Amino acid sequence: MALNNPVSKLLSLVQRGYNKPPHVIGRWIWRKLKARRTAKVLPGWERWLGPSSMAAALNAESFEDLTRRMENANPFPGLESTATYVSALSDAQKTTITARARRAMAHEVDFLGSGPVSLGPNIDWTCDFKSNTAWPMKPSRRLPVNDPKSTSDIKVPWELSRLQWVLPVGQAYVLDGDDDYATFTRAIVDDWINKNPVCHGPNWMCAMDVALRAIAIIWLFQACKKSPAWGDEDFRARLIKSLILHAKFIDGNLEYADVNGNHLVADLAGLTVIGLALGGDGIAKKWVKTSWTLLAKEFPLQVPDDGVCREGSIPYHRFVAELFLLPALARRTRGLEVEDAYWQRLANMAPFVSAYTRPDGEVPIWGDADDGRTLPLGTQPLNDHGYLVETLISLSDAPSRPTYDETLWWLGIGNGAAQKHSAPVSAAFTDAGVYVLRDAKNYVFVDAGPVGMSGRGGHGHNDCLSFEASLQGTRLIVDPGAYVYTADMAARNRFRGTAMHNTPQIDDHEINRIPRADWLWYLSDDATPEVRHWSTSGDIDLLVAAHSGYQRLTPPVTPVRAVMLEKSTDRLFIADGFDCANDPGDLSVRTPFIFAPGVRVENIEPGVWRLQSDDKRFLMINADPDDWEATLENGEVSPAYGTKVETQMLVFHRKGSLKPLALAIIPNHAAPRTPSAG
């Protein structure tokens, strides 16, 4: 049944709400009623708000006083003192910013896997240009986000309307003061405001996107406020009205759920920044106070003591860290208190980033990835998270010469020395169930944790016991990523499914069941992980873990995986076993190993494969080739949202009695003379 069918919608809500506590159901009903009321009221506010009424609502003596207050209410420490940025940035960084600004000024965008796209002189803010689908300018709450009959991706107009693609133009203005840059940013913001009436069209559907757009608009104002283009009183009236409407929309559509996630954090971050940017008085005072109270409450719930965001995703760990960081920096910049415990929890998120960063400087795409950012201001590649470590460990004193320009744009230039990163070491993150076996050149990332969002699924995948591995700095085994969300529901479920991950699958069952094909962020909480052994030393790291995802089968089966990294020889060993009290002798097991794009694979003798990447060679050896059939198959990997590339995967199959699978991946120079005998 299609989700835009009212009966189907009702049945879906009943299914999702079944067995939920009364307070969860009650809050959901209240949220829907409040959102409905907001949709009715805000168009009236849009018509009614004028300079004098806005000044009164924000407790300013006059509209002129309000605009002066807004100029002085900069919530971004990176824009407090920018005079030295030209000398602080490298020539390459300045060139990149200028090139990005020029592309934006030509109305050219490239995001969500679109490739370079020209928007034309008249931007259609409702258009998904990837599928050439324009969303109607109807009341926003009547538009379906998930429609199985549509190939349109709502994220495209949302991303376009976040206005983050315009930020480099504001950066370019900061660097050289050319008023053409400021004039362009003002024109884009004005165009968006004029073409997107509140609560109508696709860009007033999701409070998180409304919040991120408001943050970008405020950043552009603070970056360009000295330009005459941004000083026009009529434009400032439209700007402030729009920001008030953004805040009231967010406040009326806070994205509470049975388990709260990044959407609610984004909503609250947006309210904090808007409230402070508008002076923090009148109606804005409530936004600042309420949002901070809720943020402080949510932080320990969403980021437990091991410092890992419970979304079950590395890209979302970055996103959530930024979302919690921004309002704290904004409050400190405006002279408001931020508790020590809050700063400490932010700092606690950095070790996970250090641990999960591969030797090549980029990160595995564990869990979902939609390229979401809070304020993307750096010139580093998308999957380089090093700036986040530098920023989080420099919160008490910004470095005078940061390694990453993103750190500069977030924190500004301070007096601190550039923080030296300690050498990467093996680490266990027990709340998340993530284990990293590594040294400077070898790296294994293992998911031995629960499904994301406290058992709800969320942005986590069916990847328990799956791993990613690099040896001698060379990527060999990878996570496939996420690809897309609503634009292709079959692909969405395929990329988050068990069969796409480097973990055993029994009788084609999912580790955690997918309740419905159109429940794109839900998984059944079937697999309880069990870590049976973890140890690390200067030479040997060893993890032994299992999960209960197949205990529901008849007979119950427990996959057990051992992963051992031998650092002195750069060798990796993987051994899978299966606990089953009454093995029926007819179970099928499928275990894939997905190779990084560019790795060439050749079967050189039974049970032995040569892996080659550039000039590095490795052998992958099956200790018992007679027990398992192995096939080299085509696979696909998604390095970023909306993109996928072909690769190869080695898939081991067995049907019959359960037998262990033992593999080794070793550098060519460390191989035995006769690999199959070694």
State the CATH number of the domain containing residue 629: 2.70.98.70
**Is the domain of 85 the same as that of 182?**
yes
In a domain, 422, yes or no: no
Structure tokens at 338: 């931020």
* Count of domains forming the chain: 2
**Is the domain of 441 the same as that of 478?**
yes
Residue 150's closest CA among 33, 254, 49, 2? Answer: 2
> Which residues, at least 6 apart from 454, have a Cβ–Cβ distance to it below 8 Å?
259, 310
**Is the domain of 89 the same as that of 140?**
yes
Which run of H or E residues covers position 467? Answer: strand 467-471
In a domain, 502, yes or no: yes
> Rounded to an integer, what distance in angstroms lies between the CA atom of residue 556 and that of residue 658?
12
Beta-strand pair 629-637/645-656: antiparallel
In a domain, 90, yes or no: yes
**Is the domain of 318 the same as that of 449?**
no
**Is the domain of 389 the same as that of 436?**
no
CB atoms within 10 A of CB 150: 17
> Which residues, at least 6 apart from 72, have a Cβ–Cβ distance to it below 8 Å?
none
Q: For position 56, what pLDDT does the model report? A: 97
**Is the domain of 389 the same as that of 461?**
no
Which of 379, 411, 443 is the last residue in one of the domains?
A: 411
Per-10-residue mean pLDDT of the chain, 678 residues long, equals 47 55 75 91 94 97 97 97 93 98 98 97 97 94 84 95 98 97 98 98 97 98 97 96 98 93 98 98 98 98 96 97 98 98 98 96 96 98 97 94 96 82 88 97 97 90 98 97 95 97 98 95 96 97 98 97 98 98 96 98 97 96 96 97 97 97 92 57
3 state DSSP class of 167: helix
Q: For position 3, what pLDDT does the model report? A: 43
**Is the domain of 284 the same as that of 138?**
yes
Q: For position 150, what pLDDT does the model report? A: 81
Residue 503's closest CA among 375, 394, 590? Answer: 590
In a domain, 12, yes or no: no
> Which residues, at least 6 apart from 109, have a Cβ–Cβ distance to it below 8 Å?
103, 116, 117, 119, 160, 165
Structure tokens at 639: 């390095």
> Rounded to an integer, what distance in angstroms lies between the CA atom of residue 381 and that of residue 368?
18
**Is the domain of 455 the same as that of 375?**
no
Residue 270's closest CA among 348, 252, 259? Answer: 252
Residue 573's closest CA among 429, 670, 645? Answer: 670
> Rounded to an integer, what distance in angstroms lies between the CA atom of residue 109 and that of residue 112?
10
In a domain, 586, yes or no: yes
> Rounded to an integer, what distance in angstroms lies between the CA atom of residue 535 and that of residue 386?
27
In a domain, 100, yes or no: yes
Q: At what angle do helices 262-277 and 283-302 cross, to 10 degrees?
A: 150
Return the DSSP state at 418: P
**Is the domain of 391 the same as that of 285?**
yes
**Is the domain of 330 the same as that of 470?**
no
3 state DSSP class of 318: helix
Q: For position 660, what pLDDT does the model report? A: 98
Domain containing residue 598: 427-677
In a domain, 4, yes or no: no
**Is the domain of 438 the same as that of 535?**
yes
CATH code of residue 44: 1.50.10.100
**Is the domain of 449 the same as that of 309?**
no
Which of 381, 411, 441 is the last residue in one of the domains?
A: 411
Q: For position 17, what pLDDT does the model report? A: 55
Return the DSSP state at 125: T
Cis amide leading into 555 (omega within 30): yes
Q: For position 472, what pLDDT does the model report? A: 97
> Rounded to an integer, what distance in angstroms lies between the CA atom of residue 476 and that of residue 468?
8
In a domain, 14, yes or no: no
Which of 363, 382, 411 is the last residue in one of the domains?
A: 411
Q: For position 677, what pLDDT does the model report? A: 47
Residue whose tokens read 């990329």: 495
Q: For position 146, what pLDDT does the model report? A: 79
Residue 242's closest CA among 124, 70, 74? Answer: 70
Residue 591's closest CA among 410, 467, 431? Answer: 467
